[in-house]
Amino acid sequence: MKRGNRQSPTLSVFARKNIEMKVKEIFNTMAYGPAPESAAQANEFLDAHNRTFELFINGEWKKAEKHFETINPSNMEVLANIAEASERDVNEAVTAANKALKDWVNLGGRARARYLYAIARQIQKHSRLFAVLEALDNGKPIRETRDIDIPLVARHFYHHAGWAQLMDTELKDYKEIGVIGQIIPWNFPLLMLSWKIAPALAMGNTVVLKPAEFTSLTALLFAEICQNVGLPKGVVNIITGPGSTGAALVNHKDVHKIAFTGSTEVGKIIRKAIAGSGKKVSLELGGKSPFIVFEDADLDSVVEGIVDAIWFNQGQVCCAGSRLLVQESIQDKLYDKIKARMEKLRVGDAMDKCIDIGAIVAPVQLKTIDELVQKGIAEGNQMWQPSWECPKDGCFYPPTLFTHVSPSSTIAQEEIFGPVLVAMSFRSHQEAIKLANNTRYGLACSIWTENINLALDIAPKVKAGTVWINSTNVFDAGSGFGGYRESGFGREGGKEGLFEYMKPRIEEQFSDKPINPAVQKSKITITDSINRTAKMYIGGKQARPDGGYSITIKNPQGEIVGEAPEGSRKDIRNAVEAAHANGKWAEMTGHARAQVLYYIAENLSARKSEFSNRLVQMCCYGKTDADAEVEKSIDRIYTYAAHADKYDGQAHQTIQRNVTLAMPEPVGVMGIVCPDEAPLLAFISTVIPAIALGNSVIVIPSESAPFSATDFYQILDTSDVPGGTINIITGPKDSLAKELAKHYDVDGLWYFGNKESSKDIESLSAENMKRTWVNYGKYRNWMNNEQSEGMEFLRHASEIKNIWIPYGA
């Protein structure tokens, strides 16, 4: 055959040039094509269940009467039908968990650890299936579920398996709480499940968990994992359904604790619903976290940090850095860089490995985001969005930037829970702190600066449970996570998170009746009963009651001991203002506070005879018992003086290249309502640990025997205690306690009294999410160190702030 007759395999000149032009265009634009992840195995899983899922109760699948659809928000297609648990189903699940509790506890921590290890391994073995199913159900990008969510899920089970192994030695003074009701949100469905279930099981509790209505699929796959590892029946129960299912779980009488992650509004409803029930509660709620950028920051790194802070998971993150606070000198330069980066962001199907932003979880959330954006525009804030359009076939919303936002604007104060960044400027470091704290929330904060001294100066001053330095949205099972203020209370992760799932064994020894020394029957000598004027103590000064009334105080034998001021709401107001005005005490080092406490103990010791005689007069104690209470009071002051500079945090063993500091901080302004019994010792045992850690307090002393407290302010006057550190209001303790509970500027409240008022305190405190510690009508023996002294008091007097400091080149 002649060469000229052969057919050339080469492309035509036209075709070749066309390809070259496309390659050149792609090279010049660097445009990415789609890179879809296969959903085949996830679809096989769904089909294996006929795309219908029932309830997981007592280790088995139980049919429900009703079902609802779960949707893929990327394309609005129905993924499956999910069971809707009724109140009867909830009751069955709780009953199963209660039945399984005893055997699960008796199994011991070491055996429980083996199950948690097995669960962790199974999650790793099926990690891709979990990641794909999560992306389909939630709408978040597959690269986030694959590279962030699922590895963290496995990490939580491994980490808490270790704590189960160590519980009998490291936490031997604590025990399980019982049946835990857990309600989780839709933004991190499987990760939130692991945050809740892993520590609960490790500490010996059993669980009834309700996943979010929008995103239940990975929780149901997790139920299969529990079956596969042979987890004892009833230890984990998964009940799906709407808000009414969660309400039935919250209100169930046999649930011993509620762990909730979700909105602040629902958190308040839960807090009020369980008030006075004795149920323990931890709440991880909303946020409006500041992202603070100082003028020396690396702005290119800042921009990438912003992408992770507010467009990670479409901004549907409780700790999203949704408030950008930028130093005025660099604001325009930074805004230009942010806008340029926003133009390059890709929004699309969650299964595309090349997208940056996925779908909003549901149409109702999409509508909420848009309404708040429109409100931001209506209020005069400057809005900017990229030039490109979002896909039309799903719940998509473009990344949005508001600049020159007023701090009082709705979008600066309300949680949008979407891909919307609001920016404000500041001039000085102090202004940055004020803007950062200008919110009812306190969940997280990011600080960006090349000056580590500046970063570590700002971090403790921002009211937030987590602070990231030159980083954002970094999480690990070894570090606690949780908020201040209306972002809730309690911690998840780290050793501090374990306390949410156990209780001190010593509580079993508390009494149903007050414990008092025997009353002596002989005549008590009362001297100066009327002429010795007792006053209240506010801001370091003696104060008469605002209402001008006094109360006659009688001892158990009916003898008049004296008159005490009758405090009122206005006196509480004045005391709270004085406590907030006192900045010196919290700023002192632990060593300096310890010196003051030692001085208090010395001065009380010098006057112990006088204080002993007061107890004899007020309480009809025998002299031996009165002397013993004073001596115990002095000794307890010395104990907390010793703790003042030794109640340390730690550097958490997190897996990222960070030094993660767990820093104990004072709660802030605390109310303390003392019991009627042990009027001197109970006053000392509650007030002194609180101030030892830097809190300022408003104290309501024993109503029936207040003079030990009013005498004590003379000790404070001679012991270098800054004015406003301890404020003393006498009068009817339950009504005054309610005023403290309602006060928005009180950060924490301890109440030692009856069961009915314990309920009132918890219910009234829900409005500003103040931390409460109440006794539900159970009584301590204040002379017993195991019951009334130690770390439990210090833990309730402090918050843990976790500060993440990256290291390395």
d(CA 563, CA 550) in angstroms, rounded, equals 6
- Distance in angstroms (rounded) separating the CA atoms of residues 440 and 421: 18
CA distances (Å), origin 804, targets 287, 463, 656: 18, 15, 10
226 counts as catalytic: no
DSSP state of 317: -
Classify residue 62 as left (phi > 0), alpha (psi -120 to 50) or beta: beta
Tokens of residue 458, six digits = 């700002």
- Angle ∠(549,554,558) on CA atoms, nearest 5: 140
| Distance separating alpha carbons of residues 258 and 239, to the nearest angstrom | 15
CA 214 to chain centre: 23
Question: Of how many residues is the chain composed?
Answer: 809
Q: Are 715 and 604 in contact (CB under 8 A)?
A: yes
Instruction: Say if CB 745 and CB 724 are below 8 A apart.
Output: no
Phi-psi region of 278 (alpha: psi -120 to 50; beta: other; left: phi over 0): left
Element (H, E) at 377: helix 363-378
Q: Is residue 425 classed as helix, strand or coil in its secondary structure?
A: strand
**Please, which residues bridge with residue 83 across strands?**
67
Note whether 695 and 668 are within 8 A (CB). yes
What is the crossing angle of helices 755-765 and 733-742, to 10°? 20
Beta pairing partners, 716? none
Residues 6+ apart with CB under 8 A from 651: 659, 660, 661, 662
Q: What is d(CA 414, CA 410) in angstroms, rounded to the nearest whole number? A: 6
Which one of 37, 84, 176, 284 is the catalytic residue?
284
Q: Is residue 215 within 8 Å of 231, Cβ to Cβ? A: no
181: tokens are 């009701």
134: alpha, beta or left, given left = phi > 0 and alpha = psi -120 to 50? alpha
To the nearest 10 degrees (0 to 180), the angle between helices 590-606 and 623-644 is: 160
Other CB atoms within a 10 A radius of the CB of residue 787 amount to 20
Which positions ≥6 away from 802 have C-beta within 8 Å? 465, 466, 467, 479, 480, 481, 494, 652, 660, 661, 662, 663
Instruction: Mark residue 234 as left, alpha or beta (left: phi above 0; alpha: psi -120 to 50; beta: remaining).
Output: left
92 is catalytic: no
In angstroms, how far is the first alpha carbon of the chain from the final one? Answer: 67
Q: Which of 84, 92, 318, 629 is catalytic?
A: 318
Query: Six-digit token pair at 704?
Result: 């029936």
How far apart are alpha carbons 391 and 360 in whole angstroms?
12
Number of neighbouring beta carbons within 10 Å of residue 548: 9
Residue of 112, 235, 224 whose CA lies nearest to 179: 235
DSSP one-letter code for 145: I
Which residue has 């003898």 as its token pair? Answer: 559
Residue with tokens 């340029």: 340
What is the residue type of 211?
P
CA dist., res. 207 & res. 201, Å (int):
8
CB-based contact 210:251 (threshold 8 Å): no
Q: Alpha-carbon distance 154 to 117, whole Å?
A: 9
Q: Give the residue numbers annotated as catalytic, written as ranges.
A: 284, 318
